[in-house]
Structure 1
Amino acid sequence: MWQSIKHTAVLALLCFGLNSPSWATDSYDLVLNGGRVIDPETGLDAVRHIGVRDGKIVSMSETALRGKRVLDVSGLIVSPGFIDLHAHGQTILANRVQAYDGVTTALELESGVFPIDAYYQRRAAEGSPLNYGASVNWLSARIAALLDLTPTGDADWFTQALTRDGWQDSIATPEQLDTIEQLVADGLNQGGLGVGFLTGYAPGSGHKEYYRINQLAAARGVPTFTHARFLSMAEPQSSFEAIQEIISVAASTGVHAHIVHLNSISLKDIELIRPMILNARDNGAKLSTEAYPYGAGATSIGAAMFRGEGWRERIGAITANNFAVDGRRLDEAEFARLQKEAPATDIIIHFLDASKPDERALIDQAILMPEGIIASDGGDWTLANEPVAATAWPLPEQAWSHPRSAGTYARFIRNYVTERQALNLTDAIAKVSYLPAKLLQESVPQMRHKGRLQVGADADIVVFSLPEFADAATFATPAQLSKGLKHSIINGQLLIADGVLNTSIMPGQAVRNSGTR
């Protein structure tokens, strides 16, 4: 009789699922059941059930799971969290806004920061909603060396330094170049994710200097991120020539050279520049590109690219009306006044009109670049020309920034996947998650676990409704969160659940290179 009872009990347990991972209700901290899971590295596109424990994905099951908290995500897209390589908004507020756009890791790589240690200490002390990290700011090192200044961790130091004279068009002496190289090396020793080159803000800096610091990056095995030296369709000193310089250092030093905002830096010469990059890559140069799905960029009105004889004609015969401050187009008198009296004023410059098919096609060439990455180039938020408090929430309705600070990724997926079907969903998600991680993973081992949905990957996950996922931010009303994001999980913690942000947690972690002391 005992044998019969035992046999019956075993059968009952097996039928109930004792040997299934769904049996133990506390075996997972978080479960996502029934979503359409996209893993761009393996090409997986199927219904799966994901179990998360201790900030990691520990199960990818074809059967439903049970855990401490279970989310039914049936009918929704489950994607690796988006990785923004070009996020100037390194504040709690900027991170929270980007979280609604699907971003889970926001890195400052084009400009970079300096000193590196001070940046990481500040972000750790404040807490961060998203994963964060930065490259070494070459321009700060150059300004410090040429003007004999000491960079500080003060966020205003760099902004103030940009208004000084004497560094934009000066060739560094051998002693100054040694100092620049040492400062950049110090930043890499402190965990900088590469070197950020704002050469477009110092177009007269030496080509030998650019080459030497790229040599340093190559020797250290880290990538460089370059805002090309020139912005022009006219020669000499054209955008074409500036991209040639980046290709040259990639080919001659072996560095992985990343070209930022290819769409805006190329102007209308993308049809020449795009194949040049692809051919160089085919011939062994380590090159990657990024773009954002807008026809307008943002910078300061006093930037070097907007000065000098003939600058308007060089970038497309633009007028003051192509520039906007706080959503208001400028006239010539206001443009001249701001350049003279307030050169640090943030402006939006409209290069291309995406509503015109021929100009939209130019943007498409950058966006659809093979293995091209999507990055926002987004920034912080201001209100009445003053920074919005970093801990403010919700985002004030009248706050101002470029709309890409809020809507880049939802706009990209809405436009190129949902509406125009120019990309399939897996390829689109690769451009915002896996490809950015792949670019960095050789020098930053942490990134081998991001941009993927696999057992062992970091639990940086976003869940959204594909038909609803769309940007709401416009140039007139930029302070609008993207729509359609249901859940955002950062290192296993629910930052956004059912569309509601949890302001009490700061789950973001630092991303640093393997040279960290």
Structure 2
Amino acid sequence: MTRRALMAMAAAATATAITPVASLAQGNPVLRNNEEGPYDLVIRHGRVIDPETGLDAVRDVGIKDNRIAAISESPLQGAKVLQAEGQVVAPGFIDLHAHGQQLPAAWVQAFDGVTTALELESGLLPISRYYDLTAKEGRPINYGASVAWTYARIAEKEGVEPDGTILWFQAAFSKDKWQNSVATDEEIDRIISRVETGLQEGGIGIGINAGYAPGYGRKEYHRLAELAARYGVPTYTHIRYNSVKEPQSAFEAFEELVALSAVTGAHMHVCHVNSMAGRDMANCVALLKSAQARGLPISVESYPYGASSTTVGSEGFRGDNWLERWGASDASVMEMNGQPLDQAKIDELQASSPGSVVVFHFLQPDKSEADQALLDLAVLYPGGSIASDAMPWQTAAGGLVEGDVWPLPEGAFAHPRSTGCFSRFLARYVRERKALSLSDALAKMSLYPARILQTSVPQMLRKGRLQVGADADIVVFDPATVKDNATFVEPTRLSTGYRHVVVDGVPIIEEAKRIADARPGRPIRRQV
């Protein structure tokens, strides 16, 4: 396909009415009349935007008992007042794909406007342990996780019990049975039983990190989709293949996902379609849109970067033809700690430290208009959400940055999307390129993610909206200055332009400064 054709497709995407998947729950569930004051907190005289109702006007917002109690043209009185004149007041951003579930990672995302960060693609296991550990430490933003199929598979294939942390998963890349072997019927039964236990403990769907275990059998994936349909929860899939070449192409993997949605009725959520489809974006996006047009419950997310972050031991980077399958030029498109790698170094890391985190530039939008047009097909996908795929922060020595640590230590490293995903989308796609309206952009970061979850997790009916009765998760920012500052070399540089961030009615960032002891974040969890 020519560059002109790709750019035309991207332009058409922006012109399409951005609507959620038709089969997902819709409506305005929290609309009600203003409550009487006084209020615990008032956000004064900002440009209030609610993507669901279309409100875009200067208003005061009154907050009482962790909820939005009033939205008024007239001044409201409150025990505390946050000034917002000249600022946008919007629903807090909901990140469906945040691997950084540690306390420092949560603070970094708060400075990117995120008020809810969920680990859905990979998930965690055991679910109860994850929620218990996180609640004990506390979080400034809301948190939650899906049930990790890969963890259940590793446990059965390798005979090791998961501990509810991402470090356990990273260590599993040194083992060799779970990634490329078909499970027996008995093993599948036990894997499904572990996943079902996680759902019964409140996990918010099933994380199917298939790209890390591409050798699973089709019947195993079918059983997972059946389980999701039975419990009425989404699956969040990182498809099993990353290749522009057939067989075992990304297109084939998307076909598998579409077929399972059609056969089982399960809601299949596609994680980071940008990095999954890569240079075959046009064909893969057309396939997914066609499936949605036929009423299949499929949803999509993307992040506004042309580079992914993953482990060097992932199956997608192994074999003599891995660059050809990605459509990449040479091994230098892979970096570690900001430094390009060659094939010899990649081979060394895969042998000695396969869990090492690397950055892989599958597209180069800053260098190529054609690559930018491909990325646009994903980022501007009609009805699609923005999700960061934020990585955990690692120390210069390769350990995990966790605990009550602030600021991030010198040399801390992660993909810059962990710091600036949502600000980058606002700065580049809305302010600089004017590729979509501010209200439509906010929908992709708040309302659409909430709608993906609200059928199975009713508390999400009160999130992603700026309406009376909604949870008071609110971000106040300057649309003229909001900006991502993190780079692949300096990923710790926080986003700027956010004046206030409020979670469950409690300011966690006020006048662009962190409220160090604020821990109002609540668990997002299925009620069972």
Is 1:167–2:178 an aligned residue pair? Answer: yes
Partner secondary structure for residue 175 of structure 1: helix
Greater RCO, 1 or 2 (C-alpha within 8 Å, sep 6+): 2
Q: Measure the CA separation in 1 of the matches of 2:224 and 2:457.
A: 19
Distance 1:314 1:215 in 2: 31
Q: Which amino acid aligns with 2:429?
A: Y
Alignment pair present for 1:257 and 2:268: yes
Give the structure 2 partner of residue 9 of structure 1. none
Q: Deviation at 1:23?
A: 9.0
Aligned-partner SS, 2:358: strand
- Partners in 2 of 1:64 and 1:271 — Cα distance? 50
Between 157-166 and 278-287, report the one with greater CA deviation.
157-166
Q: Per-residue CA shift, 1:159-194, capped at 9, x if unaligned?
A: 222321111111111111110111110000000000
Distance 1:205 1:148 in 2: 17
Q: Using the TM superposition, give the Cα deviation of residue 466 of structure 1 relative to its aligned residue in structure 2, in angstroms.
A: 0.4
Instruction: Quote the offset at 1:331 in angstroms.
Output: 2.3
Structure index of larger Rg: 1
Q: Do 2:42 and 2:80's aligned partners in 1 also have CA atoms closer than 8 Å?
A: yes
Partner of 2:228: 217
CA drift of 1:327 comes to: 0.7
Pairwise CA distance, 1:397: 4.6
| Letter matched to residue 370 of structure 1 | P
1:134 to 134, 138, 145: 145
Q: Kindly indicate whether residue 283 of structure 2 is the aligned counterpart of residue 283 of structure 1.
A: no
For 1:492 and 1:301, the matched residues in 2 are separated by: 41
Tell whether 2:67 aligns with 1:56.
yes
Whole-angstrom CA distance in 1 between matches of 2:159 and 2:355: 22
CA distance in 1, matches of 2:512, 2:77: 22
Residues 454-473 of structure 1: matches in 2 within 5 Å? Answer: 454-473=467-486
Alpha-carbon distance change, 170 to 23 in structure 1, aligned in 2, over 3 angstroms: closer
Partner of 1:359: 371
User: 1:373 matched to which residue of 2?
Assistant: 385
Paired with 1:140 and 1:22, the residues of 2 have a C-alpha distance of: 46
Secondary structure in 1 matching 2:119: strand
Change (3 A) 1:253 1:129: same
Question: Deviation per CA, 1:84-133, whole angstroms, max 9, x where unpaired?
Answer: 00000001100000001000000000000000000000000010111000
Residue 435 of structure 1, CA deviation: 0.3
Aligned residue among 424, 428, 433 for 1:411: 424
1: distance between equivalents of 2:257 and 2:225?
Answer: 10
List structure 1 segments (4+ residues) > 4 angstroms apart after TM superposition: 21-24
Structure 2 length as normaliser, TM-score? 0.92
Unaligned stretches of 5+ residues in structure 2: 1-33
The residue that corresponds to 1:146 in the other structure is 157
Aligned mates of 2:166, 2:298 — CA distance in 1: 31
How many residues matched? 494
1:22 touches 1:64 (CA, 8 Å); kept in 2?
no
> Which residue of the partner structure matches residue 200 of structure 1?
211
Q: Is residue 382 of structure 1 aligned with residue 394 of structure 2?
A: yes
1:304 is aligned to: 315
Give, in angstroms, the shift of residue 152 of structure 1.
2.4
What is the DSSP-based 3-state SS (H/G/I as helix, E as strand, rest coil) of the residue aligned with 1:268? helix
For residue 407 of structure 2, what is the aligned residue in structure 1? 394
Q: TM-score under structure 1 normalisation?
A: 0.94
Q: Percent identity?
A: 49
SS of the equivalent of 1:135 reads strand
**RMSD across aligned C-alpha pairs, in angstroms?**
1.4
1:32 aligns with 2:43: yes
Report matched runs for 1:221-236 at 5 Å.
221-236=232-247
**Corresponding position: 1:477 with 2:487:** no
- Deviation track 1:194-253 (CA, whole Å, cap 9, x = no partner) reads 000111111110011001111000110000000011000000000000111111111111
- In the aligned structure 1, how far is the partner of 2:486 from the partner of 2:165? 30
CA distance change for structure 1 residues 154 and 467 in 2, over 3 Å: closer, same or farther?
A: closer
Q: CA deviation at 1:386?
A: 2.5
- Range that drifts further, 378-387 or 365-374: 378-387
Letter of the 1:449 partner, please give it: R
For residue 154 of structure 1, report the CA deviation from its aligned partner. Answer: 4.9
Question: 1:34 and 1:219 mapped to 2: Cα distance?
Answer: 47
* The one of 256, 259, 265 aligned to 1:248: 259
Q: 2:524 matched to which residue of 1?
A: 511
Q: 2:345 aligns with which of 312, 334, 344?
A: 334
Cα distance in 2 between the residues matched to 1:389 and 1:511: 21
Of 430, 435, 450, the residue aligned with 1:422 is 435
Contact 2:158 2:175 in 1 (8 A): no
Contact 2:45 2:83 (8 Å CA) reproduced = yes
Bigger shift: residues 413-422 or 152-161: 152-161
Specify the SS of the correspondent of 1:68: strand
Residue by residue, what CA displacement relative to the aligned partner does 1:301-360 show, whole Å, maximum 9, x if unpaired? 111111124222111134221111111111232222111111111100011111111100
Counterparts in 2 of 1:103 and 1:276: CA distance versus 1, 3 Å:
same
Matched, 1:266 2:283: no
Q: Distance in 2 between matches of 1:474 and 1:104?
A: 22
- 1:33 positional shift: 1.3
Give the whole-Å Cα distance in 1 for the aligned partners of 2:39 and 2:460: 23
Task: Check the 8 A contact 1:22/1:66 in 2, yes or no.
Answer: no
SS at match of 1:387: coil
**Counterpart-to-counterpart distance in 2, 1:437 and 1:52:** 20
2:279 is paired with a residue of what secondary structure? coil
Whole-Å separation in 1 of the counterparts to 2:274 and 2:495: 22
| Unaligned 5+ runs, structure 1 | 1-20
Shift of 1:400: 1.1
The CA deviation at 1:150 is 2.3
SS in 1 for 2:377: helix
Cα distance in 2 for partners of 1:416, 1:308 equals 37
In 2, the alpha carbon distance for the partners of 1:339 and 1:510 equals: 36
Residue deviations 1:283-302, cap 9 Å, x none? 11101111000010010111
Kept in 1, the 8 Å contact 2:333–2:361? The answer is: yes
